[in-house]
Chain A
Amino acid sequence: MGVQLLLEHLNKPEINTIDGYIKQGGYRTLDKVLGKMTPDEVTEEVKTAGLRGRGGAGFPTGMKWSFLDKSTDKPRYLLCNADESEPGTFKDRLLMEKIPHLLIEGMIVSSYALGCRTSYIYIRGEYMFILRILEKAIKEAYAKGFLGENIKGSGYSLDLYVHPGAGAYICGEETALIESLEGKRGNPRIKPPFPAVSGLWGCPTIVNNVESIAAVVPILNMGGSEYAKIGIGRSTGTKLISASGNINKPGVYEIELGLPVEEFIYSDEYCGGIKGGLDIKACVPGGSSVPILPKSLLFKESNGNPRLMSYESLSEGGFETGSMLGSGGFIVYDEKQCIVKNTWTFARFYHHESCGQCSPCREGTIWLDKVLYNIEHGLGKESDIDLLWDIQHGIEGNTICPLGDAAAWPVAAAIRHFRHEFEYHVKYPHRVKDDDHVYQPEMNYTTA
Chain B
Amino acid sequence: MTNNISPKIAYINGDPFALQEGETILSFVRRHTTYDRVPTLCDAPNLEPFGSCRVCSVEVGLKEDGPYKTQASCHTPALAGSYIVTDSQKIQHLRKNIVELVVTDHPLDCDHCDANNNCELQTVAKRLGVTDARYPEGRNHFDALPDTSHPYMRSDLSKCINCYRCIRACDEVQGELVLSMAGRAFDATVIKGNNVSFFDSDCVSCGACAQACPTSAITDIFDSKSNDFEKKVRTTCTYCGVGCNLEVAVKDGKVKSIQAPYDAEVNQGHTCLKGRYAFSFYNHQDRITSPMIRRNGELESVSWDEAYQYIAGKLTEIKNNYGPNAIAGISSARCTNEENYLMQKFIRAVIGTNNIDCCARVCHSPTALGMQKSFGTGAATNSIEELVDADCVMIIGANPTEAHPVTGAKLKQHAMKGKLTIVIDPRRTTLAQYATYHLALRPGTNVALLNMMLYYIITEGLEDKAFIENRTAGYQEFKEQILALDMDEMEAITHVEKSLVKKAAVAYASSKNAMSFHGLGVTEHSYGTYAVMLISDLAMITGNLGRRATGVNPLRGQNNVQGAADMGCQPYQGAGYLNAYDPEINKKYELAYKTPIPIDEGLKISEMFEASIEGKLKALWLMGEDVVQSDPNTNKVIKAMESLDLLIVQEIFITETAKYADVILPGATFLEKSGTFTNGERRVQRVNKVVEPLPGTKPDGQIISEIMNVMGYSQNDYDPADMLDEISKIVPFFAGITWENLGKNGKQWPVKTDGTDTKILHGETFPLGKGRFNFVDFAESTELLDNEKDYPYILTTNRNLEHYNAGTMTRRTNNVHIITEDVLLINPLDAANHLIHDGDLVCIESARGKVDIKAKVTDEVRPGILSSTFHFPEVMLNIITSDVSDVEASCPEYKIVACNIRKSKGKYKTLNH
**Contacting pair B184 A359 (CB below 8 A):** no
Residues of A contacting B162 in the complex (Cβ-Cβ under 8 angstroms): 356-357, 359, 362
Interface size in chain A (residues, C-beta < 8 A) = 36
Residues of A contacting B75 in the complex (Cβ-Cβ under 8 angstroms): 190
Which residue from chain B places its CB closest to the CB of A397 in the assembled complex? Answer: B70
| Measured CA separation A365–B183 after assembly (Å) | 15
**Contacting pair A356 B54 (CB below 8 A):** no
| Per-residue interface assignment for chain A, residues 342 to 377, with 1 indicating a CB less than 8 Å from any chain B CB and 0 otherwise | 000000000111111111111111110011001000
**Contacting pair A400 B98 (CB below 8 A):** no
Choose from B97, B136, B181 the contact partner of A390 (Cβ within 8 Å): B97
Choose from A351, A359, A370 the contact partner of B161 (Cβ within 8 Å): A359
Q: Is B250 part of the contact surface with A, judged by Cβ < 8 Å?
A: no
Q: A398-B94, A398-B98 in contact; A360/B54 too (CB < 8 A)?
A: yes
Tell me which of B44-52, B107-115, B150-158, B262-270 binds A.
B44-52
Q: Is B139 part of the contact surface with A, judged by Cβ < 8 Å?
A: yes
Choose from A192, A353, A398 the contact partner of B185 (Cβ within 8 Å): A353
Choose from B53, B57, B102, B186 the contact partner of A356 (Cβ within 8 Å): B186
Q: Is A297 part of the contact surface with B, judged by Cβ < 8 Å?
A: no
Q: Is A22 part of the contact surface with B, judged by Cβ < 8 Å?
A: no
**Contacting pair A363 B101 (CB below 8 A):** yes
**Contacting pair B70 A400 (CB below 8 A):** no
Choose from A168, A190, A362, A393 the contact partner of B186 (Cβ within 8 Å): A362
**Contacting pair A357 B186 (CB below 8 A):** no
Q: A168-B184, A356-B183, A370-B136 in contact; A364/B52 too (CB < 8 A)?
A: no
Q: A185-B180, A370-B138 in contact; A359/B101 too (CB < 8 A)?
A: yes
Residues of B contacting A352 in the complex (Cβ-Cβ under 8 angstroms): 184-185
**Contacting pair B186 A365 (CB below 8 A):** yes
Q: Is B164 part of the contact surface with A, judged by Cβ < 8 Å?
A: yes
Q: Is B77 part of the contact surface with A, judged by Cβ < 8 Å?
A: yes
| Measured CA separation A123–B188 after assembly (Å) | 24
11-66 of chain B: CB within 8 A of chain A = 41, 49-55, 57
Q: Is B283 part of the contact surface with A, judged by Cβ < 8 Å?
A: no
- Nearest CB on A from B289, distance (A): 53
Q: Is B104 part of the contact surface with A, judged by Cβ < 8 Å?
A: yes
| Measured CA separation A264–B566 after assembly (Å) | 87
| Measured CA separation A361–B54 after assembly (Å) | 10
| Measured CA separation A355–B185 after assembly (Å) | 5
| Per-residue interface assignment for chain B, residues 83 to 127, with 1 indicating a CB less than 8 Å from any chain A CB and 0 otherwise | 000000000001001100110110000000000000000000000
Which residue from chain B places its CB closest to the CB of A191 in the assembled complex? Answer: B75
**Contacting pair B52 A359 (CB below 8 A):** yes
Which residue from chain A places its CB closest to the CB of B50 in the assembled complex? Answer: A190
**Contacting pair A367 B104 (CB below 8 A):** yes
| Measured CA separation A361–B185 after assembly (Å) | 8
**Contacting pair B188 A356 (CB below 8 A):** yes
Interface size in chain B (residues, C-beta < 8 A) = 38
Residues of B contacting A356 in the complex (Cβ-Cβ under 8 angstroms): 162, 181, 183-188
| Measured CA separation A63–B97 after assembly (Å) | 37
**Contacting pair B54 A366 (CB below 8 A):** no
Residues of B contacting A390 in the complex (Cβ-Cβ under 8 angstroms): 97
Residues of A contacting B185 in the complex (Cβ-Cβ under 8 angstroms): 351-356, 361-362, 365-366
Q: Is B134 part of the contact surface with A, judged by Cβ < 8 Å?
A: yes
**Contacting pair B52 A358 (CB below 8 A):** yes
Residues of A contacting B102 in the complex (Cβ-Cβ under 8 angstroms): 359, 363
| Measured CA separation A361–B51 after assembly (Å) | 12
Which residue from chain A places its CB closest to the CB of B103 in the assembled complex? Answer: A363
**Contacting pair A357 B52 (CB below 8 A):** yes
| Per-residue interface assignment for chain B, residues 162 to 204, with 1 indicating a CB less than 8 Å from any chain A CB and 0 otherwise | 1110000000000000001101111110000000000000000
| Measured CA separation A393–B98 after assembly (Å) | 11
Taking each of A356, A365, A393, which has the highest tally of chain B beta carbons within 10 Å of its own beta carbon? A356
Residues of B contacting A367 in the complex (Cβ-Cβ under 8 angstroms): 101, 104, 135, 138
**Contacting pair B101 A394 (CB below 8 A):** yes
Is chain B's interface secondary structure helix, strand, loop, or mixed overall?
loop
**Contacting pair A387 B134 (CB below 8 A):** yes
**Contacting pair B188 A362 (CB below 8 A):** yes
- Nearest CB on A from B189, distance (A): 9
Q: A352-B185, A353-B184, A365-B186 in contact; A359/B104 too (CB < 8 A)?
A: no
Residues of A contacting B163 in the complex (Cβ-Cβ under 8 angstroms): 359
| Measured CA separation A351–B180 after assembly (Å) | 21
Residues of A contacting B164 in the complex (Cβ-Cβ under 8 angstroms): 357
Q: Is A399 part of the contact surface with B, judged by Cβ < 8 Å?
A: yes
Q: Is A177 part of the contact surface with B, judged by Cβ < 8 Å?
A: no
Q: A190-B75, A394-B98 in contact; A355/B135 too (CB < 8 A)?
A: no
- Nearest CB on A from B76, distance (A): 9
Residues of B contacting A362 in the complex (Cβ-Cβ under 8 angstroms): 162, 185-186, 188
Choose from B98, B134, B161, B188 the contact partner of A355 (Cβ within 8 Å): B188
Choose from B53, B136, B186 the contact partner of A351 (Cβ within 8 Å): B186
| Measured CA separation A361–B181 after assembly (Å) | 16
**Contacting pair B53 A359 (CB below 8 A):** yes
| Measured CA separation A391–B97 after assembly (Å) | 7
211-232 of chain A: CB within 8 A of chain B = none
Residues of A contacting B104 in the complex (Cβ-Cβ under 8 angstroms): 363, 367
Choose from B77, B98, B101, B188 the contact partner of A192 (Cβ within 8 Å): B77
407-447 of chain B: CB within 8 A of chain A = none
| Measured CA separation A51–B229 after assembly (Å) | 65
| Measured CA separation A355–B162 after assembly (Å) | 11
Residues of A contacting B55 in the complex (Cβ-Cβ under 8 angstroms): 359
| Measured CA separation A327–B616 after assembly (Å) | 92
**Contacting pair A366 B97 (CB below 8 A):** no
Choose from B49, B135, B161, B184 the contact partner of A190 (Cβ within 8 Å): B49
Which residue from chain A places its CB closest to the CB of B51 in the assembled complex? Answer: A190
Residues of B contacting A383 in the complex (Cβ-Cβ under 8 angstroms): 134
| Measured CA separation A358–B70 after assembly (Å) | 15
**Contacting pair A394 B186 (CB below 8 A):** no
**Contacting pair B54 A358 (CB below 8 A):** yes
Which residue from chain A places its CB closest to the CB of B104 in the assembled complex? Answer: A363
377-418 of chain A: CB within 8 A of chain B = 383, 387, 390-391, 393-394, 397-400
| Measured CA separation A383–B134 after assembly (Å) | 10
| Measured CA separation A190–B187 after assembly (Å) | 22
| Measured CA separation A275–B187 after assembly (Å) | 39
- Nearest CB on A from B72, distance (A): 8
Residues of A contacting B187 in the complex (Cβ-Cβ under 8 angstroms): 356
**Contacting pair A359 B188 (CB below 8 A):** no
Taking each of B49, B102, B105, B135, which has the highest tally of chain A beta carbons within 10 Å of its own beta carbon? B135
Q: A365-B186, A367-B101, A391-B101 in contact; A400/B94 too (CB < 8 A)?
A: no
| Measured CA separation A410–B912 after assembly (Å) | 67
Residues of B contacting A357 in the complex (Cβ-Cβ under 8 angstroms): 52, 162, 164, 188
- Nearest CB on A from B53, distance (A): 5
Residues of A contacting B184 in the complex (Cβ-Cβ under 8 angstroms): 168, 170, 352-356
**Contacting pair A366 B186 (CB below 8 A):** yes
**Contacting pair B52 A366 (CB below 8 A):** no
| Measured CA separation A371–B134 after assembly (Å) | 11
**Contacting pair A398 B70 (CB below 8 A):** yes
Residues of B contacting A360 in the complex (Cβ-Cβ under 8 angstroms): 54, 97-98, 101
Q: A185-B181, A190-B75 in contact; A400/B41 too (CB < 8 A)?
A: no
**Contacting pair B161 A374 (CB below 8 A):** no
| Measured CA separation A357–B53 after assembly (Å) | 8
Which residue from chain B places its CB closest to the CB of A169 in the assembled complex? Answer: B184
- Nearest CB on A from B61, distance (A): 14
| Measured CA separation A32–B374 after assembly (Å) | 65
- Nearest CB on B from A346, distance (A): 14
- Which 9 A/B pairs are nearest by Cβ-Cβ distance? A356-B188, A363-B101, A394-B97, A354-B185, A366-B186, A190-B51, A190-B75, A357-B52, A356-B185
Other than A358-B52, A363-B105, A393-B97, give 18 A-B pairs with Cβ distance below 8 A: A170-B184, A192-B77, A355-B184, A356-B162, A356-B181, A356-B184, A356-B187, A359-B161, A359-B162, A362-B162, A362-B185, A363-B102, A367-B101, A370-B136, A387-B134, A387-B135, A394-B94, A398-B98
A–B pairs, 6, beta carbons within 8 Å: A351-B185, A359-B41, A359-B161, A365-B186, A394-B94, A398-B98
